[in-house]
Amino acid sequence: MAKGAAALKKKSDLKREAAKSAPAQPAVPDDQPIIALDLGPANLSPAMQAYFQKCQDKLGFVPNVLVAYAFDSAKLEAFAAMYNDLMLAPSGLSKLEREMIAVAVSSQNRCYYCLTAHGQAVRQYSNDPKLGEHMVMNYRAARLSKRQRAMLDFAVKLTNEPWAVEEEDRAALRKAGFSERDIWDIAAVTGFYNMSNRIASATDMRPNPVYHGMSR
Amino acid sequence: MAKGAAALKKKSDLKREAAKSAPAQPAVPDDQPIIALDLGPANLSPAMQAYFQKCQDKLGFVPNVLVAYAFDSAKLEAFAAMYNDLMLAPSGLSKLEREMIAVAVSSQNRCYYCLTAHGQAVRQYSNDPKLGEHMVMNYRAARLSKRQRAMLDFAVKLTNEPWAVEEEDRAALRKAGFSERDIWDIAAVTGFYNMSNRIASATDMRPNPVYHGMSR
Amino acid sequence: MAKGAAALKKKSDLKREAAKSAPAQPAVPDDQPIIALDLGPANLSPAMQAYFQKCQDKLGFVPNVLVAYAFDSAKLEAFAAMYNDLMLAPSGLSKLEREMIAVAVSSQNRCYYCLTAHGQAVRQYSNDPKLGEHMVMNYRAARLSKRQRAMLDFAVKLTNEPWAVEEEDRAALRKAGFSERDIWDIAAVTGFYNMSNRIASATDMRPNPVYHGMSR
Amino acid sequence: MAKGAAALKKKSDLKREAAKSAPAQPAVPDDQPIIALDLGPANLSPAMQAYFQKCQDKLGFVPNVLVAYAFDSAKLEAFAAMYNDLMLAPSGLSKLEREMIAVAVSSQNRCYYCLTAHGQAVRQYSNDPKLGEHMVMNYRAARLSKRQRAMLDFAVKLTNEPWAVEEEDRAALRKAGFSERDIWDIAAVTGFYNMSNRIASATDMRPNPVYHGMSR
Amino acid sequence: MAKGAAALKKKSDLKREAAKSAPAQPAVPDDQPIIALDLGPANLSPAMQAYFQKCQDKLGFVPNVLVAYAFDSAKLEAFAAMYNDLMLAPSGLSKLEREMIAVAVSSQNRCYYCLTAHGQAVRQYSNDPKLGEHMVMNYRAARLSKRQRAMLDFAVKLTNEPWAVEEEDRAALRKAGFSERDIWDIAAVTGFYNMSNRIASATDMRPNPVYHGMSR
Amino acid sequence: MAKGAAALKKKSDLKREAAKSAPAQPAVPDDQPIIALDLGPANLSPAMQAYFQKCQDKLGFVPNVLVAYAFDSAKLEAFAAMYNDLMLAPSGLSKLEREMIAVAVSSQNRCYYCLTAHGQAVRQYSNDPKLGEHMVMNYRAARLSKRQRAMLDFAVKLTNEPWAVEEEDRAALRKAGFSERDIWDIAAVTGFYNMSNRIASATDMRPNPVYHGMSR
């Protein structure tokens, strides 16, 4: 069950660069394949090759979810396009808020990959390691603004009982100051992690070990 | 809360063409907006305009989920790219099997939009109206091959308790004849409808009424 | 596992008459026994013979639930007496409302038989095929009057957590305009389908195939 | 919200006779109406009058569920006919076994009325007060024969997730020695208490206080 | 799997004394070991020997939970110290109220041992056999003061979804008249039975049979 | 709602000492009271004063759960005695294994306090930060020995459905090599955290902030 990571970049390079961005974290090798399916690497399109290179340059590593998708260039492109639009494009939700939704949703679904990778993102964007832990463990234990609490209550209800979401739930978001477009974005980010959590759980996807020590 | 459908095509044309493909179904107007969020239509990219035209030509209507996404051309493109790759691109799963997963998952999440639209797809692809009803109501009541039963058992477990999916679940799929790539596809389709169900429920998305009478 | 249907009426006659009431539906044979228990037909009492004949004359077929019960005339009479009193006798609830409860309850219990047979009844009584689909898929997605919404909220809570039904739930029904007797009837119909759903699921009861195409 | 008990028999007589059959139990008055709905007593048919008299003569009291139904003679007759057929007519299940199902099901649904009345019946038929407590509290804690354990496992699964009952569940009953007809009876008794539990919970039905001290 | 009871006191003595306190209950032998683990008795410390003697003198028997813990004197002392502080030391909650929590919690966890032993305590402290049954079967069916209902609602929510208990739940207790210290005590008793229920269920702990007939 | 911590030790001292054991962690003040109940500090017994001093000397801080209990010296002693016996006394389970149970249980109950404090303990005892995250996020994602997996499966089942634990569950532990006494210890540790989780959630208990950065 060898994974495609090696085909994309030498592992030692990856480690070295990752180490730079998180120097206090010893470069512990993760002796596990990235996913539990044996899917060889595809020839990536130039756009995707450039995307991976950009990850290396900015993060010091390619997130394993992208390596996992690299067995099929079209699937990788579709995933990356949706991810980048949802999490990075302009929105009434801050990037931190979108990551908070990602983690609170992943906590309901107990997704090891997403909790690790996006828990780190919450710690980094918020500059508050405790907030990342709150999102992982129980978002209700965090001291949140009314806006952010309403946002997460909606995301968690939509995760756990989507059939019961109704007009009064949307009204609660509007009352907390969210626009129509913001509500769409909350729903779309919640939906996206309900998808990603399941793909990660179905394939036993492993996060890059470097996440564990970052932004602590 | 007027929706963007009218901006794309005159409603009467839509009705007329839909009626062609399902002549026994009277063209009952659905007096509800497509979603419960007030998002004006965007200027679609030429690619998306062509896509909508293709829907009209082939189906006689533009599925409402696409109209709902039409408030933002980038989001629509990302959604359409992922949808078309997952549901229509070559795969070890037949198109019918992918639609069966879509409906069995949507039944767990009780998503009115997806059950209506993809229930119709199962009826059409299988030429067996009963099979569509089985997927909507309780997939366990259908008389399925071992392969399809294993596929749906995996999809439903992944939907309801993603945290509990483990190697033995993947092993059951392999034993039923699925390849590594097939397992990815089952996971990805399951994940996709766990996303779509939630976006549809969060926005109270309404299916095109024409679906109800088609392929009965 | 031959069933008792043949003893009651020639199958071809049944099909022929059913076809009359739903001419657009091809008479697809359902190659399955009515239930998964091997129980021979009993000698029906004259009253029950007359009842079956009346079904044939009015519906064009005998509903399979009655055929299933026909292995024991006393059980059939008790079931038919309770069914007819609950669903057809005078009540503050319309026949459509009683069928709506039947389907919303059966949706919680995912009962293939009852969803098929009573989903058809909702379509027929309401002359609104969409309403039947709403009840099958998610009653919360339907646009209901406050009265009917309160009625179904009570029925679904009573189905899913009967231990939690208390005075405030009855008060909500009274506030929605229901009388004491109406509340009894809502409870009794809800209870009845919680019984029937379980007998149908326990025995893998199969609905008459003709239901699928009727009242679309 | 006075109930119809008084119309049927003087309360003092009821108490006196009840006291005979459970002399160690002081005749504590239960200062609550039998149900939380205000439904006046109907004129009972001669058959139902005789039935109530028979209860008095044999039990020393009329079970409150019958008094509750006495607001409508037709409903009372239908209920009594089904009850008597299921619980008292010849069956491959002993009367004790049918009462064990009644209590194990009622425990899942936490129905105060049925647990009290039928818990007493298990104590009486089994001559083992502990067995009644086991059925009320957790049937898995009882030391049961394989036959009775299989019977209750089926009844409890059918109660809690009827949608998941399949051929392998019926096969387990057959393996434990149950006939086709026995399986029907297990399903029918399970169904009946899933109905009765909900009618009792919906109406806050109160058991005759005399049950508490009987057969201890 | 012999248990340590015999080592502590002759069984016949135990029976005799138990019989005194509950003379209407025939001394039915319970032919089961106290727990399903084979743990020999320890040498009890003098304090624990005295404690067991005190149980005998006051109750006529040593509760089986103590006999179960008697395989390790330190564990027994820690358990007894916590139990006695929580259930018997001065508190704003009456002893009856603490036992009501014990039984309502144990009902959620369906713990046969605790329901039997503490159900008896509720019957005894309240002098109301019905109240004990209510706590065992469904506390919502009891006619409780607002104070006691708020107390049990908190205990049951804390049992079933501890992650969802928040400030508004504490506020509801304060509004019902409970002090800060009372709230701690409600939480601590609830927590204690969530512990004990699980130790009893994990070891299949058997209550002293004498409980069944006491305080009826 | 000031808490008793200040009464026991000057906060600045606590910080200074904590900093020693986790120097990479800036001493972020946690501006929240330890619990949401306003309970003044008690006069601690000499034994408890010594215990707190020992915590300071060994850990550099007093764990907040002990400070929370310090409003009542008897309760603190009972809690500390049970805790120390369960988690630190000789057992067939290693200290790491007992902490793994603590965290896996606390993850089911989503207890912020216990996940933080005992997650740190798993990281420290195992010298494997990833293992602590696995226990917090989803123990099924960890690569465990059969022994440890069996241990956690039992603990999690006992946490989530204690009523369903039966002889076959104990047999699985015996098969994995656990002794009778080990099984008791698994049950007792599982029970203890089901208690502690609920006391922490009921009181909104806050962990010492220093835990977050330790043993990463």
- The minimum CA-CA distance between D65 and chain E, rounded to whole Å, is 16
Q: Do D186 and C195 touch (CB under 8 A)?
A: no
- The minimum CA-CA distance between D202 and chain B, rounded to whole Å, is 26
Q: Is the pLDDT of residue A167 over 60?
A: yes
Residues in chain A whose Cβ is within 8 Å of chain F: 24-25, 28, 32, 107, 110-112, 115-116, 129-130, 133-134, 136-138, 141, 143, 204, 209, 212-213, 216
Q: Is the pLDDT of residue A11 over 70?
A: no
Residues in chain A whose Cβ is within 8 Å of chain E: 138, 140
What's the pLDDT score for residue E31? 52
* Binding partners of C (≥3 Cβ pairs within 8 A): A, B, D, E
- Chain E residues with beta carbon closer than 8 angstroms to that of D110: 107, 137-138
- Chain B residues with beta carbon closer than 8 angstroms to that of D164: 140
- In the structure, what pLDDT confidence band is assigned to residue E40 with cuts at 50, 70 and 90? confident
Provide, rounded to the nearest whole percent, the portion of chain C with pLDDT above 90. Answer: 84
DSSP SS3 for C55: helix
**Cα–Cα distance, A82 to D154 (Å, whole number):** 46
Q: Do B137 and C143 touch (CB under 8 A)?
A: no
Residue listed under structure tokens 């030790």 = F9
Q: Is F207 left (phi over 0), alpha (psi -120 to 50) or beta?
A: beta
Give the pLDDT mean for C168-195. 98
E100: Cβ–Cβ under 8 A, 6 or more apart, which residues? E122, E131, E135, E139, E148, E151, E152
Identify the CA nearest to D133 among candidates E205, E120, E112.
E112
Q: Do C159 and D198 touch (CB under 8 A)?
A: yes
Q: Do C212 and B130 touch (CB under 8 A)?
A: yes
What's the pLDDT score for residue E41? 86
The pTM of the full predicted model, rounded to 2 decimals, is: 0.90
pLDDT digits (tens, 9 = 90+) for E154-200: 999 999 999 999 999 999 999 999 999 999 999 999 999 999 999 99
Choice among A3-12, B37-46, C151-160, E47-56 with the minimum mean pLDDT: A3-12
- In the structure, what pLDDT confidence band is assigned to residue D41 with cuts at 50, 70 and 90? confident
Cα separation values, E208 from D130, D140, E149, Å:
11, 18, 30
**Cα–Cα distance, D197 to D110 (Å, whole number):** 8
Q: Is the pLDDT of residue C118 over 90?
A: yes
- Chain A residues with beta carbon closer than 8 angstroms to that of B111: 162-163
Cα separation values, F65 from B4, C111, E72, F62, Å:
57, 49, 26, 8
pLDDT digits (tens, 9 = 90+) for E46-62: 999 999 999 999 999 99
Q: Which of residues D19 and F153 earns the better pLDDT score?
A: F153
Contact present, B120 and B214 (Cβ < 8 Å): yes
Contact pairs from chain B to chain C, CB under 8 Å: 57
Q: Do C194 and D190 touch (CB under 8 A)?
A: no
Farthest CA pair distance, chain A: 53
* Binding partners of D (≥3 Cβ pairs within 8 A): B, C, E, F
- The minimum CA-CA distance between B83 and chain D, rounded to whole Å, is 30
Give the pLDDT mean for E108-119. 98
Q: Check contact A-D (3+ Cβ pairs < 8 Å).
A: no
Give the pLDDT mean for D52-75. 97
Q: Do A187 and B202 touch (CB under 8 A)?
A: yes
**Disruptive mutation site among A28, A134, A136 for chain F (greatest number of F CBs within 10 Å):** A136
Q: Do A166 and C138 touch (CB under 8 A)?
A: no
**Cα–Cα distance, E64 to E5 (Å, whole number):** 8
Give DSSP secondary structure letters for B150-188. Answer: HHHHHHHHHHH-GGG--HHHHHHHHHTT--HHHHHHHHH
What's the pLDDT score for residue E176? 98
Provide, rounded to the nearest whole percent, the portion of chain E with pLDDT above 90. Answer: 84
Residues in chain B whose Cβ is within 8 Å of chain F: 163-164, 166
pLDDT digits (tens, 9 = 90+) for D146-180: 999 999 999 999 999 999 999 999 999 999 999 99
What's the pLDDT score for residue F31? 52
φ and ψ at residue A114, rounded to 5 degrees: -70, -35
* Binding partners of F (≥3 Cβ pairs within 8 A): A, B, D, E
Q: Check contact C-F (3+ Cβ pairs < 8 Å).
A: no
**Disruptive mutation site among A158, A163, A170 for chain C (greatest number of C CBs within 10 Å):** A163
- The minimum CA-CA distance between F111 and chain B, rounded to whole Å, is 18
Q: Do A77 and B74 touch (CB under 8 A)?
A: no
What's the pLDDT score for residue B41? 86
Provide, rounded to the nearest whole percent, the portion of chain A with pLDDT above 90. Answer: 84
* Binding partners of B (≥3 Cβ pairs within 8 A): A, C, D, F
Report which residue type is found at B119. G
Identify the CA nearest to D216 among candidates D137, D130, D129.
D129
Give DSSP secondary structure letters for C33-46. Answer: -SSSS--PPP---H
pLDDT digits (tens, 9 = 90+) for C78-100: 999 999 999 999 999 999 999 99
Choice among A32-36, D138-142, D143-147, F79-83 with the minimum mean pLDDT: A32-36
Q: Is the pLDDT of residue E5 over 90?
A: no
- The minimum CA-CA distance between E186 and chain A, rounded to whole Å, is 20
Cα atoms in the 13 Å half-sphere on the side-chain side of F122: 25
Smallest CA–CA distance from D166 into chain B, residue: B140
What's the pLDDT score for residue B127? 97
- In the structure, what pLDDT confidence band is assigned to residue A31 with cuts at 50, 70 and 90? low
What's the pLDDT score for residue B6? 38
**Cα–Cα distance, D73 to F18 (Å, whole number):** 77
- Chain C residues with beta carbon closer than 8 angstroms to that of B134: 112
- The minimum CA-CA distance between E129 and chain D, rounded to whole Å, is 7
What's the pLDDT score for residue A40? 84
Q: Tokens for C135, please give them.
A: 């009840």
- Chain C residues with beta carbon closer than 8 angstroms to that of D82: 78-79, 81-82
Give the pLDDT mean for F69-94. 97
**Cα–Cα distance, B80 to A48 (Å, whole number):** 19
Q: Is the pLDDT of residue F83 over 70?
A: yes
Q: Is the pLDDT of residue F7 over 90?
A: no
- Chain F residues with beta carbon closer than 8 angstroms to that of D140: 163-164, 166
Q: Do B138 and D166 touch (CB under 8 A)?
A: no
* Binding partners of A (≥3 Cβ pairs within 8 A): B, C, E, F
pLDDT digits (tens, 9 = 90+) for C22-64: 333 333 445 579 999 999 889 999 999 999 999 999 999 999 9
- Chain C residues with beta carbon closer than 8 angstroms to that of D167: 36, 204
Smallest CA–CA distance from B200 into chain C, residue: C141
Residues with pLDDT less than 70, chain B: 1-31
Q: Is the pLDDT of residue A203 over 90?
A: yes
Q: Do E190 and F183 touch (CB under 8 A)?
A: no
Give the pLDDT mean for D93-97. 98
Smallest CA–CA distance from B107 into chain C, residue: C137
Q: Is the pLDDT of residue F2 over 90?
A: no
F15: Cβ–Cβ under 8 A, 6 or more apart, which residues? F27, F29
Q: Do B116 and C110 touch (CB under 8 A)?
A: no
**Cα–Cα distance, E164 to A38 (Å, whole number):** 40
- The minimum CA-CA distance between B123 and chain F, rounded to whole Å, is 38
Q: Is A110 left (phi over 0), alpha (psi -120 to 50) or beta?
A: left
Q: Which of residues F5 and A190 earns the better pLDDT score?
A: A190
Smallest CA–CA distance from B139 into chain D, residue: D163
Q: Is the pLDDT of residue A125 over 50?
A: yes
- Chain E residues with beta carbon closer than 8 angstroms to that of C164: 140
Q: Is the pLDDT of residue A3 over 80?
A: no
- In the structure, what pLDDT confidence band is assigned to residue E12 with cuts at 50, 70 and 90? very low
Give the pLDDT mean for D176-189. 98
What's the pLDDT score for residue D139? 98
